[in-house]
Amino acid sequence: METQPMQAPRTGFDPVLDADLAELSSGASAECALQAERYRRIDSAVRRAISIADPLGGRPSLDEQFARRSITAELALVLRVHERTMVGLIYEAGQLCGTFTNTLAELSAGAITVRHAREILAAAVFLPPALHARFEREALGKARTMNVSAFHRAVARLRDRLHPDALAERAARSRADRRLVFEPDADGMAWLHLYLEAEKALAISTRVGDLATEAQKEAAEAGELGADVVAANEAAGETADGILGSGTHAQLEADIAAELLLGLPAQSTHDRQTHIPTLAFFRPEVFVAVPKITIGIDTLIGTSEEPAELHGYGPIDADTARRLVAQAPTLYRILTDPLDGTPLQLDPTQYRLSASMRRWILYRDETCRFPGCTRKAERSETDHTRAFENGGLTVEANLAVLCKKHHRLKHNSRWRVQQTGNGNLRWNSPSGREYTTSPSRMQHAPPAGPATGPPEPSRSQVSAGSTRGNEPPF
């Protein structure tokens, strides 16, 4: 009987580490399979919802449109994502369950990740359908062995090689997608994304970088920093605190870009050091409101440092709020009922809202009140929850903000909504699920019972903003 020689243990082999890596690999494959199944379920749900849509008397094409909108909204709530995200997921599911079934199969098997699959779909959008099969076949060959970053570059090259149109023609068409996107972030900050022609974006970036470098050199020549210190810090991508109010070259670039975008006059290095761009350099077109009267008035007169709230963004510090209010062309004081906190209003039997009532509803709701929607109130419509023609009154308890899309969905689908008090809305979806939304600013206290003494003065809030008319405030 022959005996097999014992294999020597691998150098550096650790069984615990090996087990961790094996488990991670197995889990990654299982996650890919789960994502593939989610795509199948999404596509199945959309197809089913459209096939069983209950017409409301409109044209068949319109019924299908609102059935699709309805299931999109409900899927977004089930998966807890924004509707825009859900639209993308539905598109991906339709493509993976239709044209790109091989990509879905590879994802299900764990051979590629969902990010690889999305790279394939994103690139295929730019190719004629006749080339999709060839493109998918060649792309999958690369996806199985590349990480996502390398695959992104490889797919871009593959797309350009297969595309029948010249790059100049494609660039001309893509110009239609240029846009500016505002993205709020934490701690009083935000991102501003600018999507435009590459040569323009590069020119802006280069120009801002040159201005930042020039400003640093001017500061050094003025004796504010020694040239050797500036050179050392530039090499590290940093500069000393105090120069132009910035700590790094990147921060200085951001300040200069803000100056350019806001149309501020060019300033010398010395001026910039004490004249740092801030929100106070432009006249605000949005409302700045202080959440509570005990905080609001004290904050505005400087006896309190309680945060204010920038409408459309969120909390801002007291100093920034005071600078904004100082620049605002109009101030509104909002008076509320001392018992239940509702705003004073005009004749509720009139359909049209007063300018002051509309201003209050926009301020209260801040965004569209459909579940999950974040469309800003100023870009939305004010809706009578119970239709005016059916006896609904023009009062706060029957008003809510809905964006145009969800306003139409309410009237053209089986979604139903009720007011339940304090501005809360209860929505029932066509499938029978229930969702509740609340105003962004829950300022209304419930009635405390009969008053035992003289009425308290009306509570007050101060908002800063702009107006084109002379509508009376509350």
**Is 435 inside any structural domain?**
yes
Same domain, 145 and 199: no
**Cβ contacts of residue 113 below 8 Å, gap of 6+?**
28, 32, 107, 148
pLDDT at position 193, please? 86
Residue pair 30/9 in contact by the 8 Å Cβ criterion: no
pLDDT, tens digit, 9 for 90 and up, residues 177-211: 888 888 888 888 888 888 887 767 777 777 778 77
pLDDT at position 118, please? 97
* CA dihedral (262, 263, 264, 266) positive or negative: positive
- What is the C-alpha to C-alpha distance for residues 192 and 365, in angstroms, rounded to an integer? 24
**Is 346 inside any structural domain?**
no
**Is 319 inside any structural domain?**
no
DSSP-derived letter for residue 265 is: P
Pairing of strands 399-402, 381-384: antiparallel
Same domain, 236 and 165: no
* 3 state SS for 35-46: HHHHHHHHHHHH
The last residue of one of the domains, among 222, 255, 277, is: 277
Number of domains in the chain: 3
Same domain, 123 and 151: yes
Same domain, 213 and 167: no
- What is the C-alpha to C-alpha distance for residues 135 and 90, in angstroms, rounded to an integer? 22
The last residue of one of the domains, among 277, 308, 333, is: 277
Describe the chain by its helix, strand, coil percentages, rounded to 5.
50, 15, 35
pLDDT at position 199, please? 66
Same domain, 150 and 35: yes
**Is 457 inside any structural domain?**
no
pLDDT at position 232, please? 52
**Is 284 inside any structural domain?**
no
- What is the C-alpha to C-alpha distance for residues 342 and 457, in angstroms, rounded to an integer? 13
Residue 440, token pair as written in the block: 């962004």
Same domain, 150 and 25: yes
pLDDT at position 445, please? 36
Same domain, 373 and 271: no
**Cβ contacts of residue 301 below 8 Å, gap of 6+?**
none
Low-confidence ranges of the chain (pLDDT < 70): 1-12, 54-62, 167, 199, 220-247, 260-301, 303, 307-316, 320, 324-351, 441-474
pLDDT at position 151, please? 94
Pairing of strands 459-465, 288-289: antiparallel
pLDDT at position 280, please? 33
Segments forming the whole domain that contains residue 269: 190-277
Instruction: Write down the residue that tokens 């040569």 correspond to.
Output: 199
- What is the C-alpha to C-alpha distance for residues 109 and 29, in angstroms, rounded to an integer? 7
Write the DSSP string, 9-31: PPTT--HHHHHHHHHHHHHHHHH
Q: What are phi and psi of 464, to 5 degrees?
A: -115, 135
Model pTM score: 0.64
**Is 293 inside any structural domain?**
no
Task: Give the count of beta carbons closer than 10 Å to the beta carbon of residue 457.
Answer: 9
252 exposure class (CB count in 10 Å sphere: 0-12, 13-18, 19+): buried
Same domain, 194 and 50: no
- What is the C-alpha to C-alpha distance for residues 295 and 306, in angstroms, rounded to an integer? 6
pLDDT, tens digit, 9 for 90 and up, residues 330-362: 555 554 544 444 555 445 556 677 777 888 888
Same domain, 196 and 146: no
Write the DSSP string, 61-110: HHHHHHHHHHHHHHHHHHHT--HHHHHHHHHHHHHHTTTTHHHHHHHHHT
- What is the C-alpha to C-alpha distance for residues 473 and 346, in angstroms, rounded to an integer? 12
**Is 301 inside any structural domain?**
no
pLDDT at position 273, please? 41
The last residue of one of the domains, among 225, 250, 277, is: 277
pLDDT at position 185, please? 85
Instruction: Write down the residue that tokens 């209010």 correspond to.
Output: 325
**Is 73 inside any structural domain?**
yes
Same domain, 138 and 255: no
pLDDT at position 470, please? 34
216 exposure class (CB count in 10 Å sphere: 0-12, 13-18, 19+): buried
Same domain, 195 and 170: no
pLDDT at position 27, please? 93
Same domain, 25 and 161: yes
- What is the C-alpha to C-alpha distance for residues 429 and 404, in angstroms, rounded to an integer? 18
